[in-house]
Structure 1
C-alpha cells in the first residue's frame, strides 16, 4: 500500500467513520463544518438527537493513541464549535445534543480498528 499523507489518511478515516455511523442509522447533517472556533468533523442526526462526531485517526498507538488525543482543550474547542453550529443552524437548536468520538487506529497487520464512543464526553449546557 503506498504511503499516504496524514491529511489523506484523516479524510479516509472520516469517510470510514461516516459509513459506519450511517450503517448504524445516523443521518449526515454536515461534514467538515467550519467556524471561527474550529471545525466539526461530522454533524449527524440520531433519531432527534444532534450528534457532533470527532473522528480521530492514529497510524500508531504511541503517545496514547486516538482516544487519548481528545484532551480537555480539544473538548472545549468542540463544545464552542457546536455552540456556533447550533446558533447558525437554528432548526437544530432545540434538539438534544451529544458528542461522540470515533477512534480509528492502524493495526500491525495493516488493518484498522474502529471504536465508536457514543456520548463520549459531557458538554456544557449549550441551550443557554
Structure 2
C-alpha cells in the first residue's frame, strides 16, 4: 500500500479519515480479489454514507467497512449498531431509486468487512431490510 501522509495535528500519525480511507481501499482490493466488481465508493445520500458498492455476480452489494485497532472494547463488527444499519438501508434505498431500482426489483445484500488489528472478517448478508 502506498505511504499515506501523516495528519497535521499528530505528526507521524494518520487522521481518522486517512485511516478509514486506507482501510476502505484495502477492503476494496481484497474484495476484488474475491471476485467482486467495484461500482462506487463513499456514496452519500441524505442521512448516510455507504463505503463501497460492488457487484457479486448478479447481486448488488452494499458494504460497510469497519476498522478497530484493538478488540479491547469489542471488535469492528460489533460497532455496527441497529441505528447504523437503518441509516445504511435508507442510503441504499435512495441510491437504488436514483438508479431506477428498489429492494423489490434489484437483488442486493448488505455485507460488512470488519478489520480488527490485522484480522479481516467478511460477513456476507450481515443484515437486510427485514431484520
**For this structure pair, what is the TM-score category when the shorter chain's length is used for normalisation?**
0.7 to 0.9
Q: Which residue of 1 aligns with 2:78?
A: 68
1:38-61: per-residue Cα shift (whole Å, max 9, x none)? Answer: 101000000110100000011121
C-alpha RMSD of matched pairs (Å):
1.7
Q: Which residue of 2 aligns with 1:119?
A: 125
Count of matched residue pairs: 119
Matched, 1:25 2:35: yes
**CA distance in structure 1 between the partners assigned to 2:75 and 2:86 by the alignment:** 20
Q: Given the two structures, how large is their TM-score scaled by the length of structure 2? A: 0.84
Q: Which residue of 2 aligns with 1:104?
A: 115
1:95-115: per-residue Cα shift (whole Å, max 9, x none)? Answer: 201000000111xxxxx1111
Which among 46, 49, 55 is matched to residue 65 of structure 2? 55
Q: Which runs of 5+ in 1 are unaligned?
A: 107-111
Runs of 4+ aligned structure 1 residues displaced above 6 Å come to: none
**CA distance in structure 1 between the partners assigned to 2:44 and 2:108 by the alignment:** 18
Q: Which runs of 5+ in 2 are unaligned?
A: 4-11
Q: Which residue of 1 aligns with 2:46?
A: 36
Per residue, is there more helix in 1 or in 2? 1
Q: CA deviation at 1:121?
A: 1.2
**CA distance in structure 2 between the partners assigned to 1:62 and 1:75 by the alignment:** 23
Q: Given the two structures, how large is their TM-score scaled by the length of structure 1? A: 0.86
